[in-house]
Structure 1
Amino acid sequence: MTENMDIGRVTRFGEGQEQVWGMTSAERVRRMLVRDVPAGARIASGHSLHINLDYAFDPLLLRLALARPGVAFDDGDALVIGQLPDEGAPSERIDLRTSTGFYNEKLRKTERPFAIRVSPQTRTAIERASYFGAYKGVTDLLTKYLWPELAFHLTRLAAALKMTPNMVTGIGAIMCVLATIFFYNGAFWEGIGAGFVFMVLDTVDGKLARCTITSSKWGNVFDHGIDLVHPPFWWAAWGLGLGHVGLALPVSTFATIMVAIVAGYVLQRLCEGIFLKYAAMDMHVWRPFDSWFRLITARRNPNMVILFVSMIAGRPDLGLIAVAWWTILSLLVHMVQVMQLVQARKAGRPITSWLEQSR
């Protein structure tokens, strides 16, 4: 089937009736064409975008096909997707089975995008490939190592229940508020439990949006707004809750800790914003050290690890003090990273991601 769309002529062929993430291939492709086409992208004159509905493929391939007129992306002898000339042969054919990979700027990683022929036997493999393919290559240690498998099964369950990403975010928001209340009342273990559920769901909603291709501007604001705002409230509630377990900090000490945590948190995010503005890329993908430090930098999840360890030691007060010191140290690291960026720009050195260089 050939049709004219805003980006140009699109030809879809094949069957692909088996559902993946509750969608047929035709519906999945339709959503990708609506939501994942880069702003301003158009099919080149004299070309058509050919899409094989017998395959489920990584959304990255759509962006690559639109950016590379004349290139066919194949699975062995079968065309998966390509922006091909209306007359003549493709200028290049890339076999996805043997390609070295492509840099995915959205997800901060170099990857070999998946393309799997759709069948009842491959459904689970496709869902697993699309889920793990949607994972950011650079993130914190808990998101990267602790709960990917758990979040995968929860994402599949949410899709089967026809839940939207915003529904998952809403449940997570409730757990986030409950964690704050528990911390404030000194019920630290209960708060950690509620916080853990929230943190896992914070992974699930994003993966559900990417796997079912249902992301929206409102969902992005809802999800990231909660992520951005709630951490200082958690740490303040934790500090206030210490009085309920006989470990209240002196007022001056608590005030100093909160100034350090809140100011450090805000300035850290400011450093990241400055880096993004002047380097046109995320701070954490510049060099190997930057990516490694993102695993442990003073964001919510690593800070929760510190507080969890302090609870095991029976000293939640020292845990909050440790969070304050780690926030200050992380801020200093980010400030050094920004200064190194300034020096590199002054020296005229190219600012590129090591992940893109290593593919």
Structure 2
Amino acid sequence: MPVWSMPSSELLRRALTRAKVPVAGAGESAALLLRADHVYDAALVGQMARSPGTLLLRPEDRRPVAAHLPTGAGAAQAEAVAQALLAGAPTTDPAFAGLAAAAPAEMVGAYDQALRKRGSAYVLELTAESRRAVEWRMFGGAYKGVTDVVTKYWWPVPAFHVTRACAALGITPNQVTGFSLLLVFAALWWFYQGDFIPGLIAGWLMTFLDTVDGKLARVTLTSTKFGNYFDHLTDLIHPPFWWLAWIAGCSAAGMPLADPWLVGIVIFGGYVLQRIQEGIFIRAFGMHIHVWRHFDSFFRLILARRNPNLILLTPLALVGRPDIGILLVAIWTALCCVEQLVVTIQAMLARRRGPLRSWLDA
């Protein structure tokens, strides 16, 4: 049964490769056995690979679907366990003797630090009827929990369908990122020329594709170190240059700012300062600044980053006042720098009472 336009066995093979588990060839005995008619959370596959002597249970009915045989298990035991798994045998089946049964939640913690969210690892049966639901569950699992309001609430549904289309057409995550980079330069040029509406169209499309590329990489298990750097460097570098181009564009459009240099310094310097503050927080407290408390995660929705800034700029550009829009961006950037400084001071004081812990990991 295909999932994301590939056989489920291919998705499983990619998950095993990422977990550095060799796939058994003809005549070889496998130590890690998984039913290929199920889809497994990649983190769960990795944990299974590190847990010999474990029997993985499907959470809804606690039926075994995967097993990691203990060291020294022979071909006969592997064959018996494989047959029992395929037959949907209960945990009491003699073939599973000596294996410690565990559900996904007992093997993988609920807090995903990389994606900054809480969520349960999944094991999903894949059928013709469940395929769409399985893909949606995988897509949701690939989404960051703490992010901006646009990415979190506006893009998920359209991004799901575009991600499915990219997978079906064989479009790679790096190709999506490459097109996003072209849109970065297109928006930059239009902003600089004072053509704010076409620039905003290019900018919003770029932000949308920035959601798609990462999700496509995660659900198809095609992420690479190069792709990760390519995506993150593109995201990291371009926003302040957009806003500097916007300032120049105001002059080109006949609406020059009274002190464009000051506005530019506040926006560019504020963006760099925010990133420095976040790096200091991670180094000092071992977590991202926006996952400490519930309020910090909420504030990330509207923090002066690319997407919230576009929300400020778009309506004012539409009514012909891009100059006011960029002034609001400067003010909001400065306020957000102050907010992050206050949070850092609060964290330093709170640490006197003990180590800090994210509310998502509570």
Shorter-normalised TM-score: what interval?
A: 0.7 to 0.9
Superposed CA offset, 1:53-97 (max 9, x none): 12012213224435656554321243234545467433342276x
Alignment counterpart, residue 12 of structure 2, candidates 6, 29, 39: 29
Q: In the alignment, what sits opposite 2:57?
A: 74
Contact 1:56 1:116 in 2 (8 A): yes
> What does 1:1-359 align with in structure 2 at a 5 Å threshold?
18-35=1-18, 48-66=31-49, 70-75=53-58, 76-83=61-68, 85=70, 88-94=97-103, 102-250=110-258, 253-345=259-351, 347-357=352-362
Letter in structure 2 aligned against 1:51: L
Provide TM-score, normalisation by structure 1: 0.85
Shift of 1:182: 1.0
Change (3 A) 1:321 1:115: same
Q: In the alignment, what sits opposite 2:76?
A: none
Q: Which 5+ residue runs of structure 1 have no aligned equivalent?
A: 1-17, 39-46
CA distance in 2, matches of 1:276, 1:120: 44
Change (3 A) 1:81 1:291: farther
Q: In the alignment, what sits opposite 1:7?
A: none
CA distance in 2, matches of 1:94, 1:73: 6
> Partner of 1:138: helix, strand, or coil?
coil
> Partner of 1:73: helix, strand, or coil?
strand
Contact 1:99 1:112 in 2 (8 A): no
Letter in structure 1 aligned against 2:10: E
CA distance in 1, matches of 2:345, 2:200: 36
Shift of 1:350: 2.1
Question: Larger helix proportion, structure 1 or 2?
Answer: 2
Contact 1:48 1:83 in 2 (8 A): yes
Superposed CA offset, 1:332-353 (max 9, x none): 11112222222233x1412211
Provide TM-score, normalisation by structure 2: 0.84
Shift of 1:110: 1.2
> Partner of 1:121: helix, strand, or coil?
coil
Question: Larger strand proportion, structure 1 or 2?
Answer: 1
Change (3 A) 1:123 1:159: same
> Partner of 1:351: helix, strand, or coil?
coil
CA distance in 1, matches of 2:285, 2:69: 34
Superposed CA offset, 1:10-32 (max 9, x none): xxxxxxxx121132232212212
Letter in structure 2 aligned against 1:21: W
Q: In the alignment, what sits opposite 2:92?
A: none
> Partner of 2:315: helix, strand, or coil?
helix
Change (3 A) 1:72 1:344: farther
Q: In the alignment, what sits opposite 1:41?
A: none
Letter in structure 2 aligned against 1:261: I
> In terms of mean alpha carbon deviation, does 315-324 or 278-287 score higher?
278-287
Change (3 A) 1:334 1:68: farther
Larger radius of gyration: 2
> Partner of 1:135: helix, strand, or coil?
coil
Letter in structure 2 aligned against 1:33: L
Letter in structure 2 aligned against 1:256: L
Shift of 1:141: 0.2
Superposed CA offset, 1:188-247 (max 9, x none): 111111111100000000000001101111111111111111011100111111123221
Change (3 A) 1:255 1:81: farther
Question: Root-mean-square deviation (CA), in Å?
Answer: 2.4
CA distance in 2, matches of 1:301, 1:104: 23
CA distance in 1, matches of 2:17, 2:346: 40
Contact 2:104 2:120 in 1 (8 A): no
Sequence identity of aligned pairs in percent?
A: 43
